[in-house]
Structure 1
Amino acid sequence: MMSPISGQATPTPRAVYSARPASTRSARGGVSGGGGSRRVAVLLVLTGLLAACATPQAVSKASAADGYGVWRSRGYGWLLTVTPEGLRLHHETAAGCYPDPATPAEVEALFPFRYPKHDGKTLVVAAEKNRSDYWFDRVPALPAGCDAVRAWSALDVFDVFRATFAEHYAYFPERGPDWLARLDAQRSRVTPDMDGRALFTLFADALRSLNDPHVELLADESSVETLQYEPAATGTFAMLEQAASALGRPPKEVQREWMRAYRDGILQTVLRGEGHVAANQRVFWGFAAPRVAYLNVLTLGGFIDQVEGRTPTLAEERATLQPVLDEAMTAFEGAEALILDVSNNRGGYDGVAHDIAVRFAGGRPRLAYYKEAKGAKGAPLQAFVVSRWPLPSFEGPVYVVTSDVTVSAGEVLALSLRALPHITLVGTPTRGAFSDMLIKPLPNGWTVSLSNEFYTNVESQNFEARGLPPQRPLEVFSDGKDLWHSHARALRALADSLVPRRRRPRPRKQAACHVVPSGPGRPTSHAEAFTSVRRGARPMPTRSPTRKSVTRTRRLKDPKGGLTAAGREWFHEKEGANLKPGVKGEADTPEKMRRKGSFLRRHFAHPRGPMVDAKGKPTRLALSARAWGEPVPKDNAGAKRLATKGTKLLERYHATQERAKPAAKRSGAKKTRTAVAARRATAKKRASPTARKTATRKRAKLS
């Protein structure tokens, strides 16, 4: 999966299985089959949203023995051997059986949850609870030859390659009806001692014709730098390649420049310099217009900086994203519409897609989609449900923006949200690569990945190869010179169209008009009387709405930083915000400490944008410090100093509050005679004359 910010490769988390060392290269268009470090095995990631199947229970030691033996998977081509010493994995095809190079400890990490059925003949395996289940059937023993040590010739590798696709690839009708026949025609070119480069080129040419983003071919460690495979570019990426060719520049360099323009367009045009950047620059959020929230998720993973030699786990990725979503959803409270922009989402974990989807699930649980693997005969169809979680969420109208760049888990997210009644898909069809990637090691050390699963919606529709269509068309990445800025302009127009109209008071009923005689005794009608008045009246002056909006915008923002008084009033009317002028003087009261400290921490602890623009001038973010009596930061170091000052102010504020608590308790605990007399005197003054007279009479009677 391509990193949308830097253009560097990051590990693809939607792999069904891979225990092979994989290249750091990424596929064209930003989807990598293996990803990860060459020295680190890419472990199993079983994906999917909340499964409707029964929740697995913990396996006791007694039942663990029931899982010992050899098991054949339904689909996927796995043979799993479970013994007290550990697990072993083999791959089985019609062309041969061979062991996986993973160690028992690595296989154990791939299949941590194993649930033997009571009949002793079935084993259910999962990587996570409440995720995709994989079904195995007991077999007496490993097939003959699975553990035999043998030399695999180029022809043997070709046959295993061909058998793997014939048995597991699910989309020949959509992507290549005659693909196997064309591959068979190439077999005559393969000789037992064929050069590895020539065999790799033959495989790559065959795979490229499928045009499947989830099909990948990776060479072994020794030849990874010289043997590379990339699928053909399509759609937006094809336009970028054409632009690179016209400019005479490398395509990857042009893609990185396009991504920078995409990012700057979000921050400056869509969010108007008031956005937030979080989760390793994978998430952007803020308000695109009054009461119109905006959330952009570039990848469904990669939220943590990758450390050399270690890939963050799914649990770590989810734990990093959750507080970001909590903060955004809390800030979106009061918004009347939300734009969820996944138009440039390059995929990732289905588990992360689920975490985002539940933030918009309101009411009863909704069935989102089904999934099943090719060749998994007898395995139950798995249903995935989106239901509400007790987390900050948004249940108003949501507009999900997609494009032909949206792929893999990004498409699963859109498919899940499409099942919710208040969700509208906007944009263009997605890439059309829903299936998880089944990653298979080949006997010669290479690795191939392919799409082996069918994803269908509740109407049993499969959108593989054709993409998930929008319900409201919107051209997101247009062709031509505007390719660098078309996304920002399209989202700007969408946000403006969603601004709620102000409720206007109903017009009052007009009073009855007296009929004024006109002419020789003939009364004038209401229409004639109105027309006669209009003919003699001066025309109403008109104003240019453009000039008015420009003038109003200039009045709202102070050129030196912050908002003007008119700007604060305007936001109060539009969004109900109670904005106050910044604290420019010394923060010598608890309220001033709290306000100024909170502002400095919120805006400069994790800056949502740069301090200076391309021309070296301070941005609106940097100028906002001046509105609070602070120096305008010129770089991130200056922003960090302001954030540190904000932290100290908040610490002083909390210390003040703590000191004030005991004093408040002491003053309220004792009711002195003086305090009681003072309260009675105040109540007496506030009472009406009649009440005072009544109280005087009662006291006289008692005395």
Structure 2
Amino acid sequence: MLKKYKVIGLLISAPFMLMGCNSDKKSEVDNSFIGVWQKTAYGEVLDISKDTISRYAYNQHSCIKTHTLPRNNGLPPEISALSRTNSDMLIVTYQNELSSNQFSKTLSLPTSCKTPINTTDHISATQTFEYFWHTFNDYYAFFELREVDWQAQYDQFKPLITDTMDDEALFTIMSTMVEPLQDGHVFLSAEQFEFSGAKPSPLLDAIQGLARASLRTGQELDESDVISSLIASHQSITSTYITPASLRALPETKEMKTFIWGKTTDNIGILTINNMANFAAIENAHDAEQLTALQVQLDVIMQDLAETDALIVDIRINTGGSDKLALAIAGRFATQDILAFNKQAINKSGLGTPVQALVKQHSAPYNKPVYLLTSQITTSAAEIFTMAMRQFSHVTQVGEETSGEFSDVLSFTLPNGWEMGLSNEVYRNAQGENFERVGISPHINVSAFNTYEMDSHHFASYDYVLNHLGKQSYLPLEPHEFTAQVNEIMAEYHLPGLSAAIIHEGATVFSSGFGVQDLNNTAVSADTPFFLASVSKVLVGATLAQALDKKHISLDEKIAPLLPFPLYVPNNQANEISFRHLITHTSSIIDNPPIFNCTYYVLDSQVSLYNLMTEEDLCPPQVDADLPEFFRQYLSDEGTFNTPQNYSQQYDYSVGEVHIYSNIATNLAAYALAKKLDTPFTELSQRYVFTPLNMHNTYWGLDTPSSDVAKRLYLDPITMQPAVYPNYRSITYADGSVISTANDLTYFLKAAMNKGKVDGKQVFSRNMVNQMLSSQTETPTRSRDIGYFWQLDGDIIHHNGADPGVLTYLIGDTRTQNGIILLSNGDINVDMHEEAMEEIKTLALRLAYTYQP
């Protein structure tokens, strides 16, 4: 966390980590400070004598003498001031710190500090464990709130501690003990190991999901690379809302900006604040220097934004810093004096000194409407900022609840040299409310983060505010402009054919064809049938959701008993796989490319399509198209195709532990349902989905396609002219073999967006659609959530598809009832075809959101 550690943490780590010296020290020792002074509820004691200041970090069980500082006829350089408010209170101000620390007089050192641990001796695992447990026991404030029985943790894990155990084993036990707290201000740090206890959130899950999703290609990405990419995307998208002439950012020389600000074309201000810590240009600046730099920057920023009509303040990825710096920013919006918060350390060891934080009315505050955007990783000092801003009547919080981690981090050094931190303080707002764990809920709930935003280059929260203010979040686009620009893109990128349908506020407002569907230059229309590739999966999902709604299956029903062959999964996990695992790509069954690529074959000859197109002999020349036999060979212990590479266990992930997109698992879901109901899956889809929706031009393309179906085309790499793929299919048909039209798919998308209703008629039950579009796993995925194969990103439901000669998009917004359907016979193997579809998708979304009758 970026939030400033309390002084105790600075003292413990490498001595004091404080800079500078005090030129105003008294020239002789002030004997009135002599005595023992305790910072109650913080585990810190100062023993001041005429010659030294000794500091102890302690709990009821044990104590460590962390520093002995010479007074040298005055104060040590680490302390800028000592003062007395009365005979029983000592105020300690450490060098370059903005806050002071209050100590109360006590008669003697705590009992545990009379025989402190000698850290120069050998330190056993038992000593370290006891100090760790007792420190949390004495000072952690939220065991009850976070529903952790700390004594039970001791009883469970203490018997596992031995003085012969290695560091990794000890670290694992200790981090496991505090993990259930899900408190981002809890940490444990060793030379080779790190633990931070942040609770799950959509962004953190997506980082993990994106990193692991790449296992589909055989390599897990480093999460730090994913974070860097997401931050870069976040900053880039922010900039697209701001006019180039007004766009500014600080620091100018660093990739990660603290501030990004400017104005939209409609004169709405945008101010992104990414941390509450890094404002000074110099490295390792202390708090006073940071505050000075911040005030200078705020003068410029607020002047630039002064004449805007309203202001978006974005702290969605702000994980904190300094309370005082956060309140300095809040002060620029202070139309009146406010109480920002009360805080007090409250724990088993006692009650700390209560602290009040005030924000004074500013002489020239920004007093127009302010929309404060928060997320579930808006943390710590950023939450303090939110708490303060909520006291102003012109501020509206939009997005998601904040993280719920308010306390400053109380840090200790363990006897073996490891560092640990915990939360010991309770913060309350001016109304006396405590938001620890639950976070501060917004006035208006809007998705604050999803990976679809990175693809679409739009923020749902920005778009909500702009639309609320009557401003455009998308550049307006007329249908004739859309048509002209699509034709230009297709010509430039050699995209052969496209069928498009646009839905605005629940009504189809545009449907048309572009280009050609074959080499005879037959024009495409909105009724031209196209193969859907992986968009077929959401139709598979709808079929399964209907079966569940009709109580034919249970989502958690195990599939192994339904199969006509003995299912094999490593580590004896075959009996764990359920329909839920299959629809969320968490079954551990994955696509092994050397085998999966060989499932594609030419229909009339059963020759391997892969061999034909690559001119290599990597697959058997003739493909056995029998699906049950393929499953038997791929998924049974004795199968010819069965290898460890067919399963995520090769990466040490078991059933339900990792999301890896899987075509074969999709087919297994369809096959298991067909076996369960003793009905071909193609018939179930027709009965449950296509017929109720009047999708008369939608069917499974398992045989030679009729002549009206768009031919699947590719570009000849030599002539750059279009050529036709032979009629092909895959053994595993359910992952991508539906044929449909743009017009037919509007019925399906409308039903999905509108709780099962199409043109006022309830086609699917509300319960069925709610189930289909609800998150079905807690395992991190590359999208925010996953339903019945649907990718779910806040209000956005979507899936795309790609196959040889097929590129498709299906995107819907359940809040606005806007959506797009794009079907093309462009080729997955032609980069410029994919680029064309991306550009057309952007145009289609503009038309969907800005259509004017």
The verdict on a shared fold, with TM-score over 0.5 as the criterion, is yes
Contact 2:346 2:352 in 1 (8 A): no
Deviations 1:246-280 (A, max 9, x none): 12322222221111110100112355674111135
1:170 alignment counterpart: 141
User: Which of 413, 418, 422 lines up with 1:450 in the alignment?
Assistant: 422
Closer/same/farther in 2, CA of residues 109 and 139 from structure 1, 3 Å limit: farther
Closer/same/farther in 2, CA of residues 272 and 402 from structure 1, 3 Å limit: farther
Closer/same/farther in 2, CA of residues 75 and 484 from structure 1, 3 Å limit: farther
Deviations 1:344-378 (A, max 9, x none): 10211112101101100013x11121100024756
1:200 alignment counterpart: 171
Deviation of 1:79 after TM superposition, in Å, equals 1.1
1:294 alignment counterpart: 270
**Residue 340 of structure 1 aligns to which amino acid in structure 2?**
V
2:115 alignment counterpart: 145
Q: What SS does the aligned partner of 1:477 have?
A: coil
Instruction: Find the aligned partners of 1:65 and 1:116 in 2 and give their Cα distance.
Output: 12
Closer/same/farther in 2, CA of residues 481 and 545 from structure 1, 3 Å limit: closer
Q: Does 1:124 align with 2:115?
A: no
2:43 alignment counterpart: 77
User: Which of 367, 378, 383 lines up with 1:395 in the alignment?
Assistant: 367
User: Which of 97, 102, 111 lines up with 1:134 in the alignment?
Assistant: 102
Q: What SS does the aligned partner of 1:431 have?
A: coil
Deviations 1:316-361 (A, max 9, x none): 2222222221111112222221111101102111121011011000
Deviation of 1:482 after TM superposition, in Å, equals 3.8
**Residue 476 of structure 1 aligns to which amino acid in structure 2?**
A
Contact 1:348 1:408 in 2 (8 A): yes
2:556 alignment counterpart: none
Contact 1:20 1:441 in 2 (8 A): no
Q: What SS does the aligned partner of 1:117 have?
A: strand
Instruction: Find the aligned partners of 1:494 and 1:201 in 2 and give their Cα distance.
Output: 45
Closer/same/farther in 2, CA of residues 378 and 263 from structure 1, 3 Å limit: closer
Instruction: Find the aligned partners of 1:358 and 1:371 in 2 and give their Cα distance.
Output: 19
User: Which of 297, 306, 331 lines up with 1:333 in the alignment?
Assistant: 306
Instruction: Find the aligned partners of 2:67 and 2:93 in 1 and give their Cα distance.
Output: 21
Q: Does 1:160 align with 2:131?
A: yes
Deviation of 1:232 after TM superposition, in Å, equals 6.0
Query: Which structure has the larger Rg over C-alpha atoms?
Result: 1
Deviations 1:75-117 (A, max 9, x none): 1011102234342210121111221157558995665343223
Contact 2:234 2:454 in 1 (8 A): no
1:258 alignment counterpart: 230
Instruction: Find the aligned partners of 2:458 and 2:378 in 1 and give their Cα distance.
Output: 13
1:18 alignment counterpart: 9
Deviation of 1:404 after TM superposition, in Å, equals 0.7
Instruction: Find the aligned partners of 2:343 and 2:199 in 1 and give their Cα distance.
Output: 28
- Which aligned pairs between 1:363-378 and structure 2 lie closer than 5 A? 363=336, 365-375=337-347, 377=350
Deviation larger for 426-435 or 122-131: 122-131
TM-score by length of 1: 0.60
- Which aligned pairs between 1:39-438 and structure 2 lie closer than 5 A? 42-43=17-18, 64-101=30-67, 108=76, 111-118=79-86, 120-127=87-94, 131=99, 133-140=101-108, 143-146=113-116, 151-219=122-190, 224=191, 226-231=192-197, 234-235=200-201, 236-248=203-215, 249-271=221-243, 274-279=246-251, 280=254, 281-304=257-280, 307=283, 311-363=284-336, 365-375=337-347, 377=350, 379-390=352-363, 393-438=365-410
Instruction: Find the aligned partners of 1:166 and 1:313 in 2 and give their Cα distance.
Output: 32
Closer/same/farther in 2, CA of residues 303 and 117 from structure 1, 3 Å limit: closer
Closer/same/farther in 2, CA of residues 549 and 330 from structure 1, 3 Å limit: farther
Instruction: Find the aligned partners of 1:163 and 1:124 in 2 and give their Cα distance.
Output: 27
Contact 1:123 1:138 in 2 (8 A): no
2:459 alignment counterpart: 488
Closer/same/farther in 2, CA of residues 141 and 473 from structure 1, 3 Å limit: closer
Closer/same/farther in 2, CA of residues 260 and 369 from structure 1, 3 Å limit: same
Instruction: Find the aligned partners of 1:130 and 1:257 in 2 and give their Cα distance.
Output: 35
Closer/same/farther in 2, CA of residues 184 and 546 from structure 1, 3 Å limit: same
Contact 2:3 2:380 in 1 (8 A): no
Contact 1:20 1:447 in 2 (8 A): no
Instruction: Find the aligned partners of 2:249 and 2:319 in 1 and give their Cα distance.
Output: 18
Instruction: Find the aligned partners of 2:186 and 2:354 in 1 and give their Cα distance.
Output: 24
**Residue 42 of structure 2 aligns to which amino acid in structure 1?**
Y
Closer/same/farther in 2, CA of residues 103 and 115 from structure 1, 3 Å limit: closer
Identity of aligned residues (%): 25
**Where is the helix percentage greater, Structure 1 or Structure 2?**
1
**Residue 256 of structure 1 aligns to which amino acid in structure 2?**
S
Instruction: Find the aligned partners of 1:484 and 1:452 in 2 and give their Cα distance.
Output: 41
Instruction: Find the aligned partners of 1:313 and 1:366 in 2 and give their Cα distance.
Output: 27
Closer/same/farther in 2, CA of residues 499 and 319 from structure 1, 3 Å limit: farther
Deviations 1:505-540 (A, max 9, x none): xxxxxxxxxxxxxxxxxxxxxxxxxxxxxxxxxxxx
**Residue 97 of structure 1 aligns to which amino acid in structure 2?**
C
- Which aligned pairs between 1:491-530 and structure 2 lie closer than 5 A? 491-498=462-469
Instruction: Find the aligned partners of 1:105 and 1:203 in 2 and give their Cα distance.
Output: 38
Contact 2:39 2:352 in 1 (8 A): no
Instruction: Find the aligned partners of 2:49 and 2:137 in 1 and give their Cα distance.
Output: 31
TM-score by length of 2: 0.50
Deviations 1:563-612 (A, max 9, x none): xxxxxxxxxxxxxxxxxxxxxxxxxxxxxxxxxxxxxxxxxxxxxxxxxx
Closer/same/farther in 2, CA of residues 244 and 83 from structure 1, 3 Å limit: same
**Where is the strand percentage greater, Structure 1 or Structure 2?**
2
Deviation of 1:408 after TM superposition, in Å, equals 1.0
Q: Which runs of 5+ in 2 are unaligned?
A: 216-220, 486-834, 836-853
Contact 2:3 2:381 in 1 (8 A): no
Contact 1:78 1:92 in 2 (8 A): yes
Contact 2:321 2:382 in 1 (8 A): yes
Contact 2:89 2:105 in 1 (8 A): yes
**Residue 247 of structure 1 aligns to which amino acid in structure 2?**
S
Deviation of 1:398 after TM superposition, in Å, equals 1.3
Deviations 1:668-688 (A, max 9, x none): xxxxxxxxxxxxxxxxxxxxx
Contact 2:372 2:395 in 1 (8 A): yes
Deviation of 1:14 after TM superposition, in Å, equals 3.6
**Residue 116 of structure 2 aligns to which amino acid in structure 1?**
C
Question: How many equivalent pairs are there?
Answer: 461
Instruction: Find the aligned partners of 1:129 and 1:241 in 2 and give their Cα distance.
Output: 36
- Which aligned pairs between 1:651-662 and structure 2 lie closer than 5 A? none
Deviation larger for 483-492 or 176-185: 483-492
Deviation of 1:64 after TM superposition, in Å, equals 3.8
Q: Does 1:476 align with 2:455?
A: no
Contact 2:51 2:71 in 1 (8 A): no
Q: What SS does the aligned partner of 1:241 have?
A: helix
